[in-house]
Amino acid sequence: MTTLFLNARLIDPEAGSDAPGSLLVQHGHILARSDQSDKAAFLAAHNLNTADVQIVDCGGKCLAPGIVDIGVKVCEPGERHKESYKSAGLAAAAGGVTTIVTRPDTTPCIDSPETLEFVTRRAQADAPVNVLPMAALTKGREGREMTEIGFLLDAGAVAFTDCDHVVTSTKVFSRALTYAKSCGALVIAHPQEPGLSAGAAATSGKFAALRGLPSVSPMAERMGLDRDIALLEMTGAKYHADQITTARALPALERAKANGIDITAGTSIHHLTLNELDVADYRTFFKVKPPLRSEEDRLAVVEAVRTGLIDVISSMHTPQDEESKRLPFEEAAAGAVALETLLPAAMRLYHAELLDLPTLFRAMSLNPATRLGLASGRLSAGAPADLVVFDPDAPLVLDRFKLQSKSKNTPFDTQQMQGRVLATYVAGEPVYRKEA
Amino acid sequence: MQPPSFDQSHLLGIEPLRPHEITAILDLAEDYVALNRQTEKHSEALAGLTQINMFFENSTRTQASFELAGKRLGADVMNMAMQASSIKKGETLIDTAMTLNAMHPDLLVVRHPHSGAVDLLAQKVNCAVLNAGDGRHEHPTQALLDALTIRRAKGRLHRLNIAICGDVTHSRVARSNLILLGKMENRIRLIGPPTLVPQQFAEFGAEIYDDMREGLKDVDVVMMLRLQKERMDGGFIPSEREYFYRYGLDAEKLALAKPDAIVMHPGPMNRGVEIDGTIADDIKRSVIQEQVEMGVAVRMAAMDLLARNLRSIRQAEAS
């Protein structure tokens, strides 16, 4: 089975290029790319006839490596009414996300090989995209005893994280890091000083003061990161900070990287495209964790993505049902669905001329894949043909009830956006096509 | 006479009000002050209307004030102590609101421990909602009664130096007053220990002092706030006696204010914590009792104006 993606605008995050070309895919992998428009010559060079090849004319639209999204919450087991592997898989496909890396903060949480196997089985049965599960770092995400990191790795866990629970005991965390290092496991943590952030629903500042919301200083993130960096110096573990969202945390991250610590960092699409003022009159769909930051922080984080200091952009997809959000702001659950809005929201940064397309796909596809040791996330020969075709300019008004996710808690509801996924391919096979 | 211009369908906070709307409420409240001082204190302004007071948080004074205000205007008033009711059975705020809404109330007076909860509720009902205090956010009728008290004592509500002292962080009264007095062009000082005064309020034009003696110099109005021990999750001040020594209003500190400065307190007072009892009782300086009186009048005025708008909206819908 051979497919030729013709007449595309190739977004290559490895080369940092954005140029016309075509891509040849065979047996689920990328065979070759060409910047020539002569398809016959391209095929002949690979001993292929036009008749044997399926042609996909991209019509000049963008073709990029599919998104690898670290930190997606699928609510199985426990809360399937919020999101199942089927609905999350369809949402991912519709959003150009070809690999979802799932969070273990389910009910019960994924902290044993048995629960991990359940997740893997459900994902294989129902999801049209690649699903890679993460496992908890400590049992019950309680921060007391480490999980069976070795067994879980064997069962397919790609990383270990307690999600938004910070392992407060430095002793427990340092041991878990030490043990994880011996297994070669990646640890993902939420940098935050929980003593400072407990009970907070907003970021300290003018807005939180006026609205009377309990708030946390942005400094809590840097304090958490500083502690983790010290422990990494001690243990040498492989570490990824799930979300860096404040300017104050960036110098610490930069120093740690310069000192050769094995650290990468992510941020969420919401912290790149929204700020604290979007909460306006206590709109709970804008309640995320950590809370939305100031505009200065947002711009600093965008700049850090541009320079590569922040490696990864995630959707931090967190489905919540209507009941969890129809509450006073302080009581409402945090989180937003974002698998389908990740790409159009990222296009806001492109249209604002803050980030170009190769930079965006470096952070959404290449870097997360590389950090997890995956061959995907790139357009080079031999890579899996996980691809997204999209039109960065196509306008839409987002209607949350048209989302594939079972939960509809998106902050972008009714907003004008630009950027539509036209088709998504996993291992060369179409898993989504936009209806004409 | 042309009715005063007041274009609101709810009173959720001071923030949405324009200065002339604030003045409209205060002007009408003056009429009700006069009415309330008569032996026959009855009006038919809310006749036929149903007022429900929903208090999700304990309150004696505010609830009594709203109840009295409604009854004097001829409304059918019902009090619901929500802490003891279905909330305990797991019903959500919105379900409670929908249930009440189905009983066709016309005025809903709501107090809730969470900021923004009253806004949320107002979106789900089709009657006029009055915020009687939501979390740390706003307490608009308190700010309005404070404004009326100041206007009557000082003869104006602009170009005054007003000190708001004490626990600003946990105070919805402070927020509403800061907004109202700012809209009316006054100079506002926030005085208190930095752990209890959000420094961000400087961006709204307030001057912030952590030395009370310095902050009280030449002010016209001293507004004390209650130390909200129940909202504190630990360690904002070292002790009440140190707090009283540094931030409690006593004769010595008050002497730094203008000689005719008035002393206010939203109540209930912690005597010997934020205010010396003798100052609170000094009828030459303290207007604390007057504040309570103005509270009933301002609430009557606010409900009257909202009811007029409610009636005209419903008339327009019917025709």
Cα-Cα end-to-end distance for chain A: 25
* Closest-CA residue of chain B to A331: B114
The answer to which of A29-43, B212-226, B276-290, B292-306 has the lowest mean pLDDT is A29-43
Strands A387-397 vs A62-65: parallel, antiparallel or unpaired: antiparallel
Query: Whole-model pTM?
Result: 0.90
Task: Examine residue A290 and say whether the peptide bond preceding it is cis (omega within 30 degrees of 0).
Answer: yes
- Continuous segment of H or E residues that includes residue B63: helix B61-72
Tens of pLDDT, residues B1-32? 455 589 999 999 999 999 999 999 999 999 99
Give residue B82's pLDDT.
78
How high is the pLDDT of residue B62?
96
Determine whether the interchain pair A282/B119 forms a contact, defined as Cβ–Cβ distance below 8 Å: yes
Q: What is the pLDDT of residues A45-98, one digit of tens each?
A: 888 888 889 999 999 999 999 999 999 999 999 999 999 999 999 999 999 999
How far apart CA A319 and CA A333 sit, in angstroms, is 10
Q: Does B138 touch chain A (CB under 8 A)?
A: yes
Q: Do B115 and A212 touch (CB under 8 A)?
A: yes
- pLDDT over 70 at B226, yes or no: yes
Element (H, E) at B25: helix B19-36
Rounded CA separation B9/A163 (Å)? 44
- pLDDT at A43 (0 to 100): 87
Cα dihedral value A205, A207, A208, A210, nearest 10? 120
Provide the phi-psi class of B267: left if phi over 0, else alpha when psi is between -120 and 50, else beta: left
Is the distance from CB of A365 to CB of A67 less than 8 angstroms?
Answer: yes
The tens digit of pLDDT for each residue in A229-247 reads: 999 999 999 999 999 999 9
User: Domain-by-domain residue ranges, chain A?
Assistant: 66-371
Tokens of A377: 């996330």
Mean pLDDT confidence for B289-316: 96
Instruction: Quote the pLDDT of residue A11.
Output: 97
| Enclosing H/E stretch for A154 | helix A149-154
Q: The dihedral of CA B265, B271, B277, B279: what is its sign?
A: negative
- Cross-chain Cβ contact A329/B172 below 8 Å: no
For testing contact with chain A, the best of B93, B136, B180 (most A CBs within 10 A): B136
Q: How many CB pairs under 8 A join A and B?
A: 59
Q: Which residue has the tokens 């397919």?
A: A156
ipTM (interface pTM): 0.83
List phi, psi (to 5°) of B204: -95, 10
**Distance (Å) of CA A300 to CA A290, A349, A368, B157:** 16, 13, 21, 43
B94 or A279, which is more confident: A279
Contact A339, A95 (CB under 8 A): yes
Amino acid identity at A414: T
Q: Is the dihedral of CA B263, B269, B273, B278 positive or negative?
A: positive
The CA-CA-CA angle for residues A162, A168, A173, to 5°, reads: 65
Q: What confidence score (pLDDT) does residue B307 get?
A: 97
DSSP assignment string, A50-111: GGGEEEEE-TT-EEEEPEEEEEE---TTT-TTT--HHHHHHHHHHTTEEEEEE-S-SSS-S-
The residue among B83 and A363 whose pLDDT is bigger is: A363
Distance CA A298, CA A275 (A): 7
Using the predicted structure, report yes or no on whether residue B161 has a pLDDT greater than 50. Answer: yes
More confidently predicted of A48 and B64: B64
> Tokens for A302?
């965008």
- Weakly modelled stretches of chain A, pLDDT under 50: none
B162 φ, ψ (degrees, to nearest 5): -120, 125
What digits encode the pLDDT tens for the residues B176-188? 999 999 999 999 9
pLDDT, residue B86, reads 54
Please, are residues B292 and B61 in contact by the beta-carbon 8 Å criterion? yes
In sequence order, the β-bridge partners of residue A101 are A70, A132
User: Which of B120, B172, B175 comes nearest A328 by C-beta?
Assistant: B120
Cis omega (within 30 of 0) on the bond before A108? Answer: yes
Rounded Cα gap, residues A70 and A64, in angstroms: 18
CA distance B312 to B306: 10
Helix (H) or strand (E) holding B263: strand B262-264
Q: Does B195 touch chain A (CB under 8 A)?
A: no
Closest-CA residue of A relative to B203 is A206
Residues on chain A touching B134 (C-beta within 8 angstroms): 212
- Judged by DSSP in three states, B91 sits in coil
Beta carbons of A210 and B120 less than 8 Å apart: no
Model confidence at B91, pLDDT cuts 50, 70, 90, reads confident
Radius of gyration of chain A (CA): 21
Burial class for B231, CB neighbours closer than 10 Å (0-12, 13-18, 19+):
middle
C-beta atoms surrounding B97 within 10 Å: 22
- How do strand A202-203 and strand A215-216 relate by DSSP bridges? parallel
State the CB neighbour count (10 A cutoff) for residue A429. Answer: 13
Q: How far apart are CA A68 and CA A121, in angstroms?
A: 20
Query: Which residues of A sit within 8 Å Cβ distance of B?
Result: 199, 204-206, 208-214, 281-282, 323, 326-331
Do the chains contact at A209 and B115, CB–CB below 8 Å?
no
| CA atoms of A218 and B45, how far apart (whole Å) | 51
Nearest-Cα distance to chain A for B228, in Å, is 14
Q: Tell me the per-residue pLDDT of A289-326, one tens digit each, with 9 for 90 and over.
A: 999 999 999 999 999 999 999 999 999 999 999 999 99
For residue B131, the distance in angstroms to the closest alpha carbon of chain A comes to 14
CB A374 within 8 A of CB A28: no
Are B11 and B131 within 8 A, CB to CB?
A: yes
- B44: contact with A, CB 8 A cutoff: no
Q: CA triplet B200, A273, B116: central angle to 5 degrees?
A: 50
B136, A329: Cβ pair inside 8 Å? no
- Kindly list the residues from chain A whose CB atom is less than 8 angstroms away from the CB atom of residue B135: 212, 328, 330
Phi first, then psi, for residue B70 (nearest 5°) are -65, -45
Rg of chain B, C-alpha, whole Å = 20
Task: Return the C-alpha torsion angle B282, B283, B285, B291, nearest 10.
Answer: 120
Strand A263-268 with A160-161, pairing: unpaired
Rounded to 10°, the helix A219-235/A170-183 angle is 50
**CB-CB under 8 Å, B172 with A282:** no
Instruction: Tell me the C-alpha distance between A291 and A208, whole Å.
Output: 11
Mention every residue, 6+ apart, whose C-beta is less than 8 A from residue B152. B290, B294
Residues of B in contact with A205 (CB under 8 A): 200
CATH number for the domain running over A66-371: 3.20.20.140
Q: Is A134 helix (H, G, I), strand (E, B) or coil?
A: coil
Q: Are strands A67-72 and A97-102 parallel, antiparallel or unpaired?
A: parallel
* Residue B124 CB coordination number (10 Å): 16
pLDDT of residue B1: 46
How many whole angstroms separate alpha carbon A338 and alpha carbon A316? 7
Instruction: Give pLDDT, residue B180.
Output: 97
Handedness of CA A122, A126, A132, A134 (dihedral sign): negative
The percent of chain A in helix, strand and coil, each rounded to the nearest 5, is 35, 25, 40
Q: Are B6 and B25 in contact (CB under 8 A)?
A: yes
